[in-house]
A and B are shown apart, each in its own frame.
Chain A
């Protein structure tokens, strides 16, 4: 039985043979897992300029049922060092979004149809090479998806072009982070959705409307996981509602400028925020009141999605409860 470790120094020919003679993969056995990836077959200089290790994820999108995923950039601590994701603003850096599909009907070099296809063209990726790439993926052992082997090839104008880029994947741990702009999310994010800056303003408002984390003993709003909420909101709400959120956020963010505070909401102190919200809640302007009610509802949706908050209220029964 060939293992991922056995293939670290294998030649391109051996790697290609392994792909052609690899074993099928049950897609359900991938779903929900993060795999540690190791690039193979690249000259050392190329590996040093790019990366030797990375992570690939496999996530069953609950709204479409599709198996999707994304790469996670790792700090290059060494081929045997523990995985340490690169982060930006406290979140793992993700890239190379994809959908995992069966090989039927996919143009590919002969013999690359043993397992599954990681298809980058079916996900939202920035313009460039990535959109032409596909990775056939096979299991190294029959009936086990713990160690996998993949290779990249490009499809341009219907023609396939193999590359020397091989990689192994080793099952690492269950998925612990789903980015807001994961493949389907990114594809469905329209100009109607808030930009990152606007979302930051919205969250400043949310955390002031629901300023938990004080004497009352509840989890602080900003400590709650809001990613699922934003993903659901961007993917599932009516376009009109998504479009309507922007003017609401802008109104409540900049209204303090002309309401005696002379600063936008995000620049207010905690006491000023409190005073502004009380003022807005009694506004004679329907739109201001309605904006506050809407943002309060969304803040509650976001806050109460966090399992720790739900557990505090005994609102999530344990699995298998009668």
Chain B
């Protein structure tokens, strides 16, 4: 398979300078979408990605090796607050789409309506029909479809069984895969290229229309002249400074963590840049089944319970590498070793919370400094999530579930005790082992210059020709997995850039 990158920053060891029409920072879902759209429209496009190119055949099966090569900081980036939460981001050509669970959801209309209610200008900028049409095109290109039962594997089918027994709405997860064989390695990168991530779809499409992808290029700053963006500068993985000058537009699509840092490092501190971070904190619990589940096999995340979405909870079966599954099995010492011998009987299911919590992002000496805290309401929601996860697990046939919350039973075997957990479980945020996914809102879109960073048409309020196309612009979280929504809005952003020209 031919390489995507035309320039590998690891090999660039002398000052590098280049010109183009549009420079896009970030090659994940947002950047790849803008690159594809603008290339198809005839623009000369360069995409800069901090990570390197990795081909499916090179993806390591081992959790630690995959995380070291494909994830930012090996997945050890942490948001600090009333509970410290790791957050995962891909750092590879294709961005997080290379290492996510391929879950595809369209942007709920109710969310768009909420945004429009808060800022009517967004109703004009993001008409539902336009967004929905973009999503339909994207889903077709990414072959989004419901997970087939034959590749789901026991962990997903058990979740379906539990939800069915409780009469709670559930469904196979719609994913952007083609020919998936249920090997359960989405989070390590699909070694067969069956997950239709950006490096296999939108980026090759863009390259076919003349776009150039540069890997190993870390962008530090947006260059401006007279309140107009004229390019970006940074450093190559080989240690050389570089500049890419752009005649038509600079597009930031580096994620809700990196984009505000680039803006702030560039002195573009207008508006609440870096503030208003929202997310979907996740909580999970482990259960033991008499039958073999082999959670590291089957579609990585192939089934979801949607019946609690009204409460801001979405439940999913989780598929991990054995190393991560093992770390989630209770115990230490000899008891733990005994449990490892029957690791195939354990499953971990999680709930994503549509949380109220807000945080902020600031550039640090070497890494972004991310703070985020849950509200009391969020902690109640986390406690509720643990309870319902336990309920569904027990209803699915788990013989034991392990809430993993200090101060409560380490092992629960009845739904009555799970109900008791919701009554008396801890309300200290730090007692919940959580992780943060899906970050939004750090360069918010809006019509008010004082409360937003970019205009409803994705243009920066102060600097001309500078656009933000990633989830930084989302006014809030969605309650569902955002990849398709991010791509749809990026598609709208690309259309605006084309129209301006």
**Residue among B77, B337, B367, B430 with most chain A CB within 10 A:** B337
- A233, B76: Cα distance in complex, Å: 10
Residues of B near A301 (CB, < 8 A) are 63-64, 323, 327
CB of B333 within 8 Å of the partner chain: yes
CB of B422 within 8 Å of the partner chain: no
Residues of A near B139 (CB, < 8 A) are none
- A297, B10: Cα distance in complex, Å: 31
- B215 → chain A closest CB, angstroms: 10
- B185 → chain A closest CB, angstroms: 8
Residues of A near B60 (CB, < 8 A) are 62
Residues of B near A305 (CB, < 8 A) are 62-65, 323
Q: How does the 8 Å CB contact mask read for A181-223 relative to B, with 1 for contact and 0 for none?
A: 0000000000000000000000000001111101011100000
Q: How many contacts between A and B, using CB within 8 angstroms?
A: 128
CB of B340 within 8 Å of the partner chain: yes
CB of B499 within 8 Å of the partner chain: no
- A296, B336: Cα distance in complex, Å: 10
Count of interface residues, chain A, beta-carbon cutoff 8 Å:
49
Contact segment of A82-90, A125-133, A163-171, A313-321: A313-321
CB of A1 within 8 Å of the partner chain: no
- B262 → chain A closest CB, angstroms: 19
Is there an interface contact between B332 and A277, defined as CB atoms closer than 8 Å?
Answer: yes
Residues of A247-266 contacting chain B, CB below 8 A: none
CB of B322 within 8 Å of the partner chain: yes
Residues of A39-65 contacting chain B, CB below 8 A: 62-65
Is there an interface contact between B65 and A304, defined as CB atoms closer than 8 Å?
Answer: no
CB of B136 within 8 Å of the partner chain: no
Residues of A near B191 (CB, < 8 A) are 317
Partner of B61, one of A62, A239, A297, A317: A317
Write the chain A residue with the least CB distance to B323.
A304
In the complex with contacts A66-B10, A239-B367, A277-B332, A300-B323 CB distance below 8 A: yes
Is there an interface contact between A228 and B65, defined as CB atoms closer than 8 Å?
Answer: yes
CB of B116 within 8 Å of the partner chain: no
Residues of B near A211 (CB, < 8 A) are 333-334, 336-337
Write the chain A residue with the least CB distance to B369.
A240
Residues of A near B341 (CB, < 8 A) are 216-218
- A98 → chain B closest CB, angstroms: 17
- A106 → chain B closest CB, angstroms: 12
- A276, B68: Cα distance in complex, Å: 32
Is there an interface contact between A286 and B430, defined as CB atoms closer than 8 Å?
Answer: yes
Partner of B333, one of A278, A300, A313, A322: A278
Is there an interface contact between B340 and A212, defined as CB atoms closer than 8 Å?
Answer: yes
- A62, B67: Cα distance in complex, Å: 12
Partner of B326, one of A286, A304, A322: A304
CB of A121 within 8 Å of the partner chain: no
Residues of B108-154 contacting chain A, CB below 8 A: none
Is there an interface contact between B326 and A300, defined as CB atoms closer than 8 Å?
Answer: yes
Is there an interface contact between A302 and B64, defined as CB atoms closer than 8 Å?
Answer: yes
- A317, B184: Cα distance in complex, Å: 11
- A289, B336: Cα distance in complex, Å: 16
Is there an interface contact between A315 and B321, defined as CB atoms closer than 8 Å?
Answer: yes
Is there an interface contact between B433 and A293, defined as CB atoms closer than 8 Å?
Answer: yes
Partner of A317, one of B183, B322, B433: B183
In the complex with contacts A214-B334, A304-B62, A241-B322 CB distance below 8 A: no
Is there an interface contact between B64 and A232, defined as CB atoms closer than 8 Å?
Answer: yes
**Residue among A239, A304, A310 with most chain B CB within 10 A:** A304
- A102 → chain B closest CB, angstroms: 10
Write the chain B residue with the least CB distance to A208.
B333
Q: How does the 8 Å CB contact mask read for B304-324 relative to A, with 1 for contact and 0 for none?
A: 000000000000000001111
Is there an interface contact between A209 and B321, defined as CB atoms closer than 8 Å?
Answer: no
Residues of A268-315 contacting chain B, CB below 8 A: 273-274, 277-278, 281, 286, 289, 292-293, 296-297, 300-305, 310, 313-315
Residues of A near B8 (CB, < 8 A) are 65
Residues of B near A64 (CB, < 8 A) are 10, 237
Write the chain A residue with the least CB distance to B64.
A301
Residues of A near B10 (CB, < 8 A) are 64-66
CB of B69 within 8 Å of the partner chain: yes
Residues of A near B467 (CB, < 8 A) are none
Is there an interface contact between B74 and A237, defined as CB atoms closer than 8 Å?
Answer: yes
Write the chain B residue with the least CB distance to A215.
B338
Q: How does the 8 Å CB contact mask read for B59-86 relative to A, with 1 for contact and 0 for none?
A: 0111111011100011011100000000
Partner of A313, one of B324, B327, B343: B343
CB of B200 within 8 Å of the partner chain: no
CB of A157 within 8 Å of the partner chain: no
CB of B181 within 8 Å of the partner chain: yes
In the complex with contacts A218-B341, A278-B332, A316-B68 CB distance below 8 A: no
- A185, B64: Cα distance in complex, Å: 16
Is there an interface contact between B367 and A277, defined as CB atoms closer than 8 Å?
Answer: no
Is there an interface contact between B69 and A216, defined as CB atoms closer than 8 Å?
Answer: no
CB of A236 within 8 Å of the partner chain: yes
- A67, B67: Cα distance in complex, Å: 21
Is there an interface contact between A210 and B340, defined as CB atoms closer than 8 Å?
Answer: yes
In the complex with contacts A209-B332, A289-B406, A315-B321, A232-B65 CB distance below 8 A: yes
- A41, B255: Cα distance in complex, Å: 58
CB of A147 within 8 Å of the partner chain: no
- A279 → chain B closest CB, angstroms: 10
Partner of A310, one of B67, B76, B322, B366: B322
Is there an interface contact between B77 and A238, defined as CB atoms closer than 8 Å?
Answer: yes
CB of A229 within 8 Å of the partner chain: yes
CB of B452 within 8 Å of the partner chain: no
Is there an interface contact between A300 and B237, defined as CB atoms closer than 8 Å?
Answer: no
- B66 → chain A closest CB, angstroms: 10
Residues of A near B440 (CB, < 8 A) are none
CB of A235 within 8 Å of the partner chain: yes
- A239, B365: Cα distance in complex, Å: 11
CB of B344 within 8 Å of the partner chain: yes
Residues of B near A235 (CB, < 8 A) are 68
- A99 → chain B closest CB, angstroms: 12
Residues of B near A218 (CB, < 8 A) are 337, 340-341
In the complex with contacts A229-B64, A286-B430, A310-B62, A304-B332 CB distance below 8 A: no
CB of B52 within 8 Å of the partner chain: yes
Complex A-B, nearest 10 residue pairs according to Cβ-Cβ distance, in ascending order: A304-B323, A232-B68, A216-B341, A236-B74, A238-B73, A236-B68, A300-B327, A241-B76, A297-B327, A301-B64
Can you offer 9 A-B residue contacts whose CB atoms are under 8 A?
A: A208-B333, A216-B340, A232-B67, A237-B73, A238-B73, A304-B321, A304-B322, A310-B62, A322-B181
Additional A-B contact list (15), CB under 8 Å, known A238-B76, A241-B76, A296-B332: A63-B68, A64-B10, A66-B10, A214-B334, A229-B64, A233-B74, A237-B73, A238-B74, A240-B78, A274-B333, A274-B334, A296-B336, A300-B323, A302-B64, A315-B296
